[in-house]
C-alpha cells in the first residue's frame, strides 16, 4: 500500500472521529437544554386530619385536638379526612371509639359523630338521659361551648309581684355535661341520621332532671354558663345538682331598686334659664 493511500485513510479516520465526537457533544447539549427548559413535574401535596395530642376512648374531639399534616403518598384511604375535600368541622363534637395517639389520622371508623347511629350509646353514662334545649348565639356563649364542656343552666323569666311584673334570673342546675351542640342527636325511626336542627344544646342529666329541663323550656329563656376546666371543688364526673342562686331585676337596676325615675328639664323664664330635676312617682 502506498504512503499516499495510508495518509488519506488516516485523514479520513481522524475526520470521522472528530465528526462523531462533535455530533455526540451537540446531542448531549440539546438534551441538557431540553431538560432545563422542561418544567419539573409538580408533586401533589396531600394533607390529612390527624390528632394533635393523645385522645383516649370516650373523649370528645375539640378544635384544639386536631391539625392538618402532609401525607407522604398519593394513596390516601377514603376513610381519612383529606384537606380540600372535607373539613375538620365534621369531626368536632365526635366521640372517640378507641384511643387515638398523637399524629394518627382521624378516620371515620375511629369516632362516632353527632347524628350517627349509636352516638348516644357511646356518650351517655349509665343511668343518665339526654335532653335538648333551644339556645341562641348569645345564650350559647357565641359558639365557644363544645361537647364535653360542663356548664351551669340559667333560667330567665318574668314574675307578677305586688309591685308589678319583674324579671328574675336563677341558676337551676350546676355541673351539666354538654354532649352535643347545634343538632338533635336522636336517631330517626329508620335508624339513619337524624334531621339537623340548628341552635340546640343537648345535655346529660338524670331522668328526674330531664323532666325539670323540659318544663324550664316553657317557663322562659335558658342560657349556658361555661364552667372552668380547673378543679372547683366538684368532680368532673359528678351528677348535676340543683342550685339556689338567683338575681332579681331590681338587684342589678338602681332605678328599679329605688322605685323612682328622674328627668331633667330646661325651664325658660324670660331671659333666664334654669335646669330642673323632676322626680317621678314610685312603681
CATH number at residue 96: 3.90.1210.10
Which pLDDT score is estimated for 213?
92
Can you list the residues of the chain whose pLDDT is less than 50? 184-198, 282-283
Domain count, the chain: 3
Take residue 65 and report the three cell numbers written for it.
Answer: 385536638
Instruction: Provide the domain limits for residue 56.
Output: 46-112
Residue 177, CA distances (Å) to 60, 88, 123, 194, 206 in order: 11, 23, 11, 21, 11
Residue 195, CA distances (Å) to 32, 97, 146, 248 in order: 62, 23, 20, 38
153 and 188 inside one domain: yes
245 and 133 inside one domain: yes
Q: What residue has cell string 330517626? A: 188
211 and 262 inside one domain: no
Residue 91 belongs to some domain of the structure: yes
Residue 72 belongs to some domain of the structure: yes
Strands 129-134 and 150-161: unpaired
Residue 37 belongs to some domain of the structure: no
Pick from 120, 227, 228, 127: nearest CA to 171: 227
Pick from 241, 239, 279: nearest CA to 260: 279
99 and 137 inside one domain: no
Take residue 149 and report the three cell numbers written for it.
Answer: 364542656
Angle at 126 between CA 124 and CA 130, to 5 degrees: 40
Which pLDDT score is estimated for 278?
53
Residue 93 belongs to some domain of the structure: yes
- Grouping H, G, I as helix, E, B as strand and the rest as coil, residue 139 is coil
Which pLDDT score is estimated for 243?
64
Task: Say how far apart CA 91 and CA 81 lie, in whole Å.
Answer: 9
Residue 28 belongs to some domain of the structure: no
Residue 34 belongs to some domain of the structure: no
- In terms of Cβ atoms closer than 10 Å to its own Cβ (0-12, 13-18, 19+), residue 170 is middle
Q: Average per-residue pLDDT in the chain? A: 76
Side-chain half-sphere CA neighbours of 118 within 13 A: 8
- Grouping H, G, I as helix, E, B as strand and the rest as coil, residue 192 is coil
Task: Say how far apart CA 200 and CA 186 lie, in whole Å.
Answer: 13
Please report, to the nearest 10 degrees, the dihedral formed by the alpha carbons of residues 71, 76, 78, 79 taken in order.
-40
Any idea what DSSP says for residue 124? S
Residue 174 belongs to some domain of the structure: yes
Residue 24 belongs to some domain of the structure: no
Which pLDDT score is estimated for 208?
93
Rounded to a whole number of angstroms, the CA Rg of the chain reads 38
Strands 150-161 and 111-112: unpaired
The whole model's pTM is what? Answer: 0.57
100 and 153 inside one domain: no
Amino acid at each position: 500500500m502506498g504512503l499516499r493511500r495510508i495518509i488519506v485513510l488516516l485523514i479520513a479516520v481522524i475526520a470521522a472521529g472528530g465528526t462523531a465526537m462533535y455530533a455526540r457533544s451537540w446531542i448531549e447539549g440539546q438534551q441538557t437544554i431540553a431538560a432545563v427548559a422542561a418544567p419539573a413535574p409538580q408533586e401533589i401535596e396531600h394533607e390529612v386530619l390527624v390528632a394533635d395530642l393523645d385522645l383516649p376512648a370516650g373523649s370528645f374531639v375539640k378544635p384544639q385536638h386536631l391539625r392538618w399534616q402532609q401525607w407522604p403518598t398519593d394513596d390516601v384511604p377514603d376513610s381519612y379526612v383529606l384537606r380540600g375535600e372535607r373539613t375538620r368541622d365534621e369531626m368536632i363534637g365526635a366521640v372517640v371509639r378507641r384511643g387515638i395517639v398523637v399524629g394518627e389520622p382521624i378516620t371515620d371508623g375511629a369516632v362516632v359523630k353527632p347524628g350517627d347511629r349509636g352516638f348516644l350509646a357511646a356518650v351517655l353514662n349509665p343511668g343518665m338521659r339526654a335532653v335538648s334545649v333551644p339556645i341562641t348565639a348569645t345564650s350559647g356563649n357565641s359558639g365557644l361551648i363544645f361537647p364535653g364542656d360542663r356548664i351551669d343552666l340559667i333560667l330567665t323569666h318574668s314574675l307578677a309581684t305586688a309591685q308589678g311584673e319583674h324579671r328574675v334570673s336563677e341558676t337551676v342546675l350546676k355541673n351539666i355535661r354538654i354532649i352535643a351542640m347545634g343538632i338533635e342527636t336522636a336517631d330517626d325511626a329508620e335508624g339513619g341520621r337524624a334531621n339537623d336542627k340548628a341552635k340546640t344544646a343537648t345535655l346529660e342529666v338524670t331522668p328526674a332532671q330531664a323532666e325539670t329541663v323540659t318544663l324550664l323550656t316553657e317557663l322562659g329563656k335558658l342560657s349556658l354558663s361555661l364552667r372552668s376546666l380547673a378543679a372547683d371543688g366538684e368532680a368532673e364526673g359528678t351528677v348535676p345538682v340543683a342550685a339556689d342562686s338567683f338575681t332579681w331585676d331590681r338587684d342589678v337596676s338602681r332605678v328599679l331598686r329605688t322605685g323612682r325615675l328622674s328627668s331633667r328639664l330646661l325651664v325658660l323664664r324670660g331671659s333666664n334659664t334654669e335646669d330642673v330635676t323632676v322626680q317621678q312617682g314610685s312603681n
